[in-house]
């Protein structure tokens, strides 16, 4: 039976005996199913509605339920796969039960403040192309935590969410996790099987575990997190590596990292005094940009910085080791190193004063510096800054 588009008030609660018999006999819908406003079903004493469909096993198109403001319970007892699954503006939905669901092309959940638990049963969803979960009442992502394949994963602004743990081995497009407050305890994240990723952004997390991560082809960025330490023991290369405004961070350990193909930025991590966890880092193809109040930086294997080199700190800092790198042409772009600064700045800024260990060479119009600065806008992460200085 092929249904290209079916508005569910008629589909789910059949208006005629013929519709009911057709629905009862169908296990696969070729097309999309939508509930876009209300339901022609009775309300309980609280004015809430329930919808349960027992026979459907597969929807080849999309299942869309939006702005059904009285819907409190949605059940598809036999549904195993959906082309796309969108829930939005369901303010009283507190029960979502799909115990057989295993495969979704796109999952998009927005504005579901009463939904606290995903009941996908068994192992839950194991395959999806993209996931967006924003502004929900979810306290965990049980039901999708066994995902093995994913292209895009974006989870943001879920105030009760306390933990994200996925079993994926690769993320082919992007991962964005931000503004999930976990009722002030902070969101913990774990990706124990993840080996490769394209672009990853973490914001407002209390812990991040990436024990198997080996390669990130674009940016790996950490912004405004509350974790004290970060380690990626198997990471060997990254397109860009950025630590900004992680106020509790005291230690970074990436012992196998050898190359960064873009920006290498560490800025405004107020508790980070010593940067010594990059013992094998040899090549930075973009800019090296450190600013903060650190007192010790060790990069013993560094042989090449193709972009600008900026190291400014309010701490008492000896620049002599890095002056040798500049003299030996390790740094190809503009070189700035200065300690005891009142207002240490990022690449492209001039030191506010000259200290005994400071030196600046070249001009700010030489070289190329790039930095990605994501901002939160409407619950999504945007790469909002691209600084360039023509070297």
How confident is the model at residue 8, as a pLDDT?
A: 41
How confident is the model at residue 391, as a pLDDT?
A: 37
Helix (H) or strand (E) holding 8: helix 8-12
The model's pLDDT over 277-289, given as tens digits with 9 standing for 90+, comes to 999 999 999 999 9
- pTM for the predicted model, two decimal places: 0.85
**370 in Cβ contact with 379 (< 8 Å):** no
3 state SS of 316: coil
Tell me the mean pLDDT in the region 55-74.
Answer: 92
Q: Is the pLDDT of residue 312 over 50?
A: yes
Separation of first and last alpha carbons in the chain: 64
Using 50, 70 and 90 to split pLDDT, how confident is the model at 149? confident
How confident is the model at residue 47, as a pLDDT?
A: 85
How confident is the model at residue 353, as a pLDDT?
A: 62
Number of Cβ within 10 Å of residue 207's Cβ equals 16
Spatial separation of the C-alpha atoms in residues 326 and 32, rounded to whole Å: 62
How confident is the model at residue 386, as a pLDDT?
A: 36
Using 50, 70 and 90 to split pLDDT, how confident is the model at 321? very high
- Reduced 3-state DSSP string for 185-225: CCEEEECCCCCEEEEEEEECEEEEECCCCCEEEEEEEEECC
* Range from 147-151, 168-172, 354-358 that averages highest in pLDDT: 168-172
Least confident of 74-78, 193-197, 372-376: 372-376
Least confident of 113-127, 301-315, 375-389: 375-389
Q: Is the pLDDT of residue 369 over 80?
A: no
- pLDDT > 70: what percent of the chain? 81
Tell me the mean pLDDT in the region 35-60.
Answer: 81
Least confident of 25-39, 190-204, 368-382: 368-382
How confident is the model at residue 160, as a pLDDT?
A: 94
How confident is the model at residue 26, as a pLDDT?
A: 78
Q: Is the pLDDT of residue 102 over 90?
A: yes
Which of 55, 46, 90 has the alpha carbon at shortest distance from 71? 90
How confident is the model at residue 1, as a pLDDT?
A: 37
Number of Cβ within 10 Å of residue 315's Cβ equals 15
Query: What are 28's two structure tokens?
Result: 């696969």
How confident is the model at residue 357, as a pLDDT?
A: 46
How confident is the model at residue 218, as a pLDDT?
A: 98
Q: Is the pLDDT of residue 268 over 90?
A: yes
How confident is the model at residue 241, as a pLDDT?
A: 98
* Cβ burial 6-34 (10 Å sphere, 16+ → b, else e): bebbebbbbeeeeeeeebeebeebeebbb
Q: Is the pLDDT of residue 370 over 80?
A: no
Least confident of 43-57, 209-223, 227-241, 333-347: 43-57
Q: Is the pLDDT of residue 11 over 50?
A: no
Q: Which residue has the higher pLDDT, 27 or 243?
A: 243
How confident is the model at residue 371, as a pLDDT?
A: 38
How confident is the model at residue 51, as a pLDDT?
A: 86
Least confident of 94-103, 118-127, 174-183, 350-359: 350-359
Spatial separation of the C-alpha atoms in residues 265 and 274, rounded to whole Å: 15
How confident is the model at residue 148, as a pLDDT?
A: 86
How confident is the model at residue 249, as a pLDDT?
A: 98
Using 50, 70 and 90 to split pLDDT, how confident is the model at 373? very low
């Amino acid at each position: 039976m092929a249904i290209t588009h079916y508005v569910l008030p008629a589909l789910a609660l059949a208006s005629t005996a013929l519709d009911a018999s057709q629905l009862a006999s169908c296990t696969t819908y070729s097309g999309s199913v939508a509930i876009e406003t209300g339901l022609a079903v009775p309300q309980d004493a609280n004015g809430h509605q329930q919808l349960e469909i027992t026979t459907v096993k597969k929807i080849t198109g999309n299942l869309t339920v939006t702005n059904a403001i009285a819907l409190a319970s949605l059940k598809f007892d036999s549904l195993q796969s959906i082309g796309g699954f969108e829930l939005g503006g369901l303010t009283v939905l507190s029960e979502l039960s799909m115990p057989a669901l295993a495969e979704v092309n796109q999952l998009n959940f927005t504005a579901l403040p009463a939904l606290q638990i995903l009941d996908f049963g068994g192992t839950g969803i194991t395959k999806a192309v993209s996931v967006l979960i924003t502004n929900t009442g979810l306290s965990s992502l049980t039901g999708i935590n066994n995902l093995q394949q994913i292209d895009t994963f974006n989870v943001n602004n879920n105030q009760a969410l306390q933990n994200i743990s996925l079993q994926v081995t690769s993320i082919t497009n992007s991962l964005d996790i931000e503004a999930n407050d976990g009722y002030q305890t902070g969101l913990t994240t774990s990706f124990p099987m993840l080996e490769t990723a394209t672009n990853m952004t973490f914001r407002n997390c209390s812990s991040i575990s990436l024990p198997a991560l080996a390669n990130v082809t674009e940016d790996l960025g950490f912004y405004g997190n509350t974790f004290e330490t970060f380690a990626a023991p198997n990471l060997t290369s990254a397109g860009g590596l950025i630590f900004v405004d992680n106020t509790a961070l005291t230690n970074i350990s990436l012992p196998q990292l050898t190359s960064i193909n873009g920006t290498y930025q560490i800025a405004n991590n107020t508790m980070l005094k010593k940067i010594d966890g990059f013992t094998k880092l040899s090549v930075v193809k973009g800019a090296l940009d450190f600013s903060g109040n650190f007192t010790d930086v060790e990069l013993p294997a560094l042989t090449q910085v193709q972009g600008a080199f900026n190291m400014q700190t309010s701490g008492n800092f000896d620049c002599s080791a890095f002056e040798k790198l500049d003299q030996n042409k390790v740094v190809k772009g503009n070189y700035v190193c200065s300690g005891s600064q009142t207002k240490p700045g990022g690449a492209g800024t001039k030191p506010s004063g000259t200290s005994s260990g400071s030196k600046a060479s070249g001009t700010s119009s030489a070289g190329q510096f790039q930095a990605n600065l994501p901002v939160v806008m409407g619950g999504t992460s945007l790469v909002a800054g691209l600084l360039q200085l023509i070297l």
